[in-house]
Structure 1
Amino acid sequence: MHSELVDLRTGSREVVLDLTSRCAEFAAGRGDGLLHVFVPHATAGVAILETGAGSDTDLLAVLEELLPRDFGWRHRHGTPGHGRDHVLPALIPPYATVPVLDGRLMLGTWQSICFVDTNVDNPDREVRLSFLAG
């Protein structure tokens, strides 16, 4: 299995970062198999969705509705409402697996692999890309 860590810098805002080109670069030339994208953090996830047409912004808005910062979270360290960030991976899992054929990601036309992070306390993040040959 081939595997590598990708460093990300998210800043101090909630983000949906498109990782598709980085994932495609990693899978290129590897033949057939599976690309596994994993976030080794308790407060971030991986989503496959359309970007660039507002869906990424809509996702963050929906997460704010589902997981409001001003809820009475029991997990209280960090900035106010940080408890929601620890619940996020239950809704947006910290992983995704994508088929790869002849070194190309088999995503649909409008699908992108995205890192989703609502944790404004930690701007330095990592994503592990792993390729399991078929």
Structure 2
Amino acid sequence: MYSEEIQVRTGQREAVVDLTDSVTAFLRPHQDADGLLHAWVPHATAGLVVIETGAGSDIDLLTALRSLLPADDRWQHRHGSPGHGRDHVLPALLAPSMSVPVLAGRPAWGTWQSLCLVDTNVDNPVRTVRLSFLPG
């Protein structure tokens, strides 16, 4: 198994960050190998998704999350920014881990699919993502 952590700057706003370039760079030394890419976000307030980016789907996702998880005072978990409790519910809807098949050193996702980090927690501007490659 090969593994490394990458740092992702999400800033102080809700974000969907495309990890495709980071995944491609991580897999480059394994360009002929088949196996499994596993991504893990060791945070209680972020998740991973496979989604189309660049055509507005990432913005639509954030809009849907705002509707499902409003940033208001309904949440029991209340430290941090107003509505921060919703950030702790996010990983129940968007898992903190994702596995993707790798064929000949490339993720086997479909056309328009990208692995993205989703972060609604404006109190944490930098996130860690652990990428692991398990050769088959």
Whether TM exceeds 0.5 here: the answer is yes
1:1-134 to 2 correspondences below 5 Å = 1-30=1-30, 31-134=33-136
How well do the aligned residues superpose, as a CA RMSD in angstroms?
0.8
**Aligned equivalents of 2:3, 2:89: Cα separation in 1:** 27
Report runs of 4+ in structure 1 exceeding 3 Å deviation. Answer: none
**Aligned equivalents of 2:92, 2:16: Cα separation in 1:** 17
Number of residue-to-residue matches in the alignment: 134
- For the 8 Å contact 1:29–1:102, the answer to whether it is kept is no
Unaligned runs of 5+ in 2: none
TM-score by length of 2: 0.96
Unaligned runs of 5+ in 1: none
TM-score by length of 1: 0.97
- For the 8 Å contact 2:73–2:82, the answer to whether it is kept is no
Paired residue type of 2:24: A
**Aligned equivalents of 1:74, 1:112: Cα separation in 2:** 33
Paired residue type of 2:57: S
**Aligned equivalents of 1:6, 1:95: Cα separation in 2:** 14
- Cα deviation 1:9-35 (Å, max 9, x = unaligned): 111000000001211221224201000
Q: Percent identity?
A: 64
